[in-house]
Amino acid sequence: MSDNIVIQATTRTDLGKGASRRLRRISGLMPAIIYGGKSKPESISIPHKDMIKAAENEALFSSVIDVDVEGKISHVIIKDLQRHPAKQIIQHVDFLRVDMKKALTVHVPLHFINEDKCHGVKMEGGRVQHSMVEIEVSCLPKNLPEYIEVDMLEATLGTIIHISDIKLPKGVESVALSHGEDHDLPVASIVAPKGGDEEIDDAPAEAAGDEDAAEGGEE
């Protein structure tokens, strides 16, 4: 895990929907809340432009973040982020406090590598089909990866890669696999190109149709 992302914030005392709208419109700030752990929930304000910039980094959503509230640091993860449905606006963020000595559960993005070089694509004309784009893991905050790589290089046509095939970083466990083998779900596969199987399957049907027509003519 790389150095923690730091977000600057200030304490927010003016609460409510009207206050939140004024905050965004007049001050260029956005509302957020820090909760969890043994401390009380804390309403804060964050410069909207800073949050927009931070959200451009995929790692923000699978990392421990340091929120600096006027000099007081809280170690958190993003539990919920609300965006405006039509505008480039983040409306609210929920930060969950984490205990650096206790395991946490987080969804981490999957990065698929060597897709264009894999045997099933390059040599057999297949294509990669993703069943998952992220995986739920459990680990100590210090071991939390920003992403997990899935190497497709050796995959051949028909190969199905499951969660158990992914090489997880040290200290990181799959939540799904902790529930048993029945939860070893597919992550990606190499499938035949669209239309390839259909063309093969249709050929015998057409031939059979021709034979039927010929037999009908003989009668």
Q: Hey, is 171 helix, strand or coil?
A: coil
pLDDT digits (tens, 9 = 90+) for 203-215: 444 444 554 544 5
Instruction: Please tell me whether the overall predicted TM-score, pTM, comes out greater than 0.85 for this model.
Output: no
- Structure confidence at residue 195 as a pLDDT band (50, 70, 90): low
Give the domain ranges of the chain: 5-97, 104-197
pLDDT digits (tens, 9 = 90+) for 73-112: 999 999 999 998 988 889 899 999 999 999 999 999 999 9
Residue 121 has pLDDT above 70, yes or no: yes
Q: Specify the CATH class of 5-97 in words.
A: mainly beta
Q: 124: buried, middle or exposed (CB in 10 Å: 19+, 13-18, 0-12)?
A: middle
Regarding the domain delimited by 104-197, which CATH topology (the fold level of the hierarchy) does it fall under? Answer: RNA Polymerase Alpha Subunit; Chain A, domain 2 (2.170.120)
Residue with tokens 């003016």: 14
Residue 141: predicted pLDDT: 94
pLDDT digits (tens, 9 = 90+) for 33-64: 999 988 999 999 999 999 999 999 988 999 99
* Integer CA distances (angstroms), 186 to 25, 107, 119, 164, 215, in order: 46, 16, 19, 9, 48
